[in-house]
Amino acid sequence: MTGELAGKRALVTGAASGIGRAIAESYAREGAVVAVQARSVERAEETLAAIKAAGGTAFAVAADLTDGAAIEAMCKDAIERLGGIDIVMNNAGVADYKKVVDMDESFWDRIMDVNLKAPFLVAKFTLPVMIEQGSGGVQLFNASTNAKTADAEWTAYNSTKHGLVGFVRCLAAEVGAEGIRVNAICPGWVDTKMAVKAHEDFARDMKEPYEKVFDESMRLNMLSELIPPQAIADMAVYLAGKGGTYITGQAINICAGLSVH
């Protein structure tokens, strides 16, 4: 721990597990006070316990990220309890795949609402305070290497991630003069519950053993390694801290070489 984020106030969405939990814990270890968002306060308990056990400071805020009014209330709650806002990490997302001809509107809407509309709303409801404070700030977004690729049957998911990177670039131009940096982190396959669920579906559809499908797919990168959530958290700390001072409008891959494999 270096105290890189000492005195900072952060909101992390989707922080009950996986990448979001690793980021929330890392921000707290570096000295930030963290608002941990999950669908319910109960779902955030393990993250909060880990942060407090390590001597950090955090509290839970809850919202259904498909509900605009709930997102607004959650952002207001987080800002009031933090006493302002310096860092927003839009991490929450859902992943699913289906052929376009088999896709109904509810499938499309669910992925769009969580992966693209919710980050827009979180930014919308936190930026006014960040701007008013006059001390700059950081808005980060968890995209994906899928934001830069074309993948059959992942049309809805990839569309949200392509859109998110476009949003990041435009927002960076919009708020740069306010000293607010805006970036996207684009992970490859990371060892999380979401990845496990996706590979369970792959194995079912391919009629192959889960362990074989998971290992071969997750290690299909230049390093032939599973990427831990902490690798993404380390970049989230870097971009939120002094190292990221002159980085904005970027979509940075953390993929062990998957994107060019």
- Residues belonging to the active site: 157
**Among residues 68, 114, 54, which one has the least CA distance to residue 90?**
114
Question: Any residues with CB less than 8 A from the CB of 77 and at least 6 apart, and which?
Answer: 35, 61
Could you give the CA distance from residue 112 to residue 254 in angstroms, rounded to a whole number? 23
Order of strands across the sheet that contains 57-62? 57-62, 33-38, 9-12, 87-90, 137-142, 180-187, 251-254
Helix, strand, or coil here: 83?
coil
Q: How far is CA 177 from CA 9, 135, 173, 184, in A?
A: 21, 11, 8, 19
Could you give the CA distance from residue 74 to residue 114 in angstroms, rounded to a whole number? 15
183-203 burial code (b ≥16 CB/10 A, e <16): bbbbbbbbbbebbeebbeeeb
Token readout for 252 is 């940075």
